[in-house]
Amino acid sequence: MLDFLSSKRPKILVVGDLMIDNYIWCDCTKVSPEAPVLVMNTKKQDKRLGGAANVYANLEALGADVLALSVVGNDENGAFLKKSLKGLILLEDEKKTSLKTRILSHSQQVLRIDDETVCDTKLEEELLFGFNKMLKELDAIVLSDYGKGVLTHRICACIIQKANEREIPVLVDPKGDDYSKYSGATLLTPNKKEAMQALKFNSLNEENLEEAIVELKDRFKLKFSMITLSEAGIAIYDDKLHIIPAKAREVFDVTGAGDSVISVMAFCMALKVPLLKACEIANKAAAVVVSKIGSATVSFDEIRKFEKNDFEEKIKSKEEVQNILKDKTNIVFSNGCFDILHFGHIKYLQKAKNLGDILVIGLNSDASVKRLKGEQRPINSQFHRASMLASLYFVDFVVIFDEDTPYELIKALKPDILVKGADYVSKEVVGADLVKRVELIKFEDGFSTTSIIERIKSE
């Protein structure tokens, strides 16, 4: 199915509240002498598409031909969005483009600052005129509502009515407690809290889930009814209730997971993929996205990798990885012997992956380990160690090197970020002069290969 989907390019329109997610990555090492607040030392800033624009970015990553229809402020951030997206982006003087700034220290969000104007747009006529010109080309429509004023009652009603006349699916990520403006849509994607709010339920659990999902379908005249259940998966109702279990292996950040779900659902429904199959693929997409930090996208290649995890294909030569990484950015590199892979390694590498987009592990060869650790090491051969690392879904490539240090490998691969353990805080990090920055990650307490070997010997 994924091969079929990745070969298609449906035209999908995203209508809704475009935003910018601005991430400021900091180090935090002290408390201010002026007030009881943390002092943050900025390392980098990362401006990403957010809100409805993140849905656009997800659809583009999936391979769709995407158009956006929205209103933003006549300001610098609005100009950025207008330049970044295809479609019709109108500028409104009275509006300030939504900017959400998140400050993170060591991958942990510590503060969010919102700068925006929330009011209904005055440009309904222009939006609807633009929509009518696009309509005949569309395979699906996503209404991404963040409550900032683009998706008024009139806009929603007109889009849904005209799409229904042409049998074009309309998927809605709803906002607020009045879903009447979405009546007649193909599908809504509220989470449990949002569904409770819209239906005026005091609670939502296994006992009344079917009642809630049916009422959602009937009250708002939907073709299908859906409620996302966070770690429990997705509930979907056609003529009966189905629960699609969650697939996430590790959750780092749920930001944008709903955007990825609705994007995959829209892509699949544009191509008339059966409903339950679409939900299964969307669940896997969510599992990939929540393992990343911040607003993120997902591709069918990543979903395929998550599904199959054909790990031996990830073990590459230096030359192979050099060629693959050509023109790529946000590359993270770490290295080590990884003789007995344990929980501490897994948590460390997962945190490393979340610092960028591609994680490459440099693995000491058997000869290299013997020189560093002694004749009794390694316990496991280089192929077995490489295979264990490659089996981790968040590891992208493993490269075995024979030198005592990875300096030449780092020089060849040109990663952006070099990751080592926090015990290197006062030590020289080999290759630090070759990368944009070095990140030190704290190891999980109580885990080390040496201590594991000693315990085995003592028993």
The pLDDT tens digits along the chain (459 residues) read 888 898 999 999 999 999 999 999 898 878 999 999 989 899 888 889 999 999 999 999 999 999 999 999 999 999 999 999 999 999 999 999 999 999 988 778 889 999 999 999 999 999 999 999 999 999 999 999 999 999 999 999 999 999 999 999 999 999 999 999 999 999 999 999 999 999 999 999 888 999 999 999 999 999 999 999 877 788 999 989 998 877 654 544 455 688 999 999 999 999 999 999 999 899 888 888 877 766 678 899 888 877 665 566 788 888 889 988 988 888 999 999 998 888 888 888 989 998 988 999 999 999 999 999 888 888 888 888 898 898 888 899 999 999 999 999 999 999 999 999 877 777 888 999 999 999 998 776 655 666 666 666 666
What single letter denotes the amino acid at residue 440? Answer: L
Report the alpha-carbon distance of residue 293 to residue 115 in Å, rounded. Answer: 21
92 contacts 13 by C-beta, under 8 angstroms: no
For 388, phi then psi, to 5°, come to -60, -45
User: CB-based burial of residue 412 (10 Å sphere; 0-12 exposed, 13-18 middle, 19+ buried)?
Assistant: middle
- Report, at the CATH architecture level, how domain 1-309 is classified: 3-Layer(aba) Sandwich (3.40)
Q: Do the annotations mark residue 312 as ligand-binding?
A: no
Q: Do the annotations mark residue 207 as ligand-binding?
A: no
* pLDDT in the model for residue 451: 66
* pLDDT in the model for residue 444: 62
Report the phi/psi class of residue 324: left, alpha or beta, with left for phi > 0 and alpha for psi in -120 to 50: alpha
| CATH classification for the domain delimited by 312-458, as one of 3.40.50.620, 3.90.226.10, 3.40.50.300, 2.30.30.110 | 3.40.50.620
* pLDDT in the model for residue 65: 98
Q: Do the annotations mark residue 309 as ligand-binding?
A: no
Report the alpha-carbon distance of residue 137 to residue 267 in Å, rounded. Answer: 15
Per-domain residue ranges of the chain: 1-309, 312-458
The pTM of this model reads 0.69
* pLDDT in the model for residue 202: 92
- Beta bridge partner(s), residue 227: 235
Q: Which helix (H) or strand (E) holds 170?
A: strand 170-173
Catalytic residue among 17, 145, 259, 339: 259
Verify whether residue 327 is a known catalytic residue: no
User: CB-based burial of residue 266 (10 Å sphere; 0-12 exposed, 13-18 middle, 19+ buried)?
Assistant: buried
Report the alpha-carbon distance of residue 301 to residue 303 in Å, rounded. Answer: 5
Q: Do the annotations mark residue 206 as ligand-binding?
A: no
* pLDDT in the model for residue 72: 98
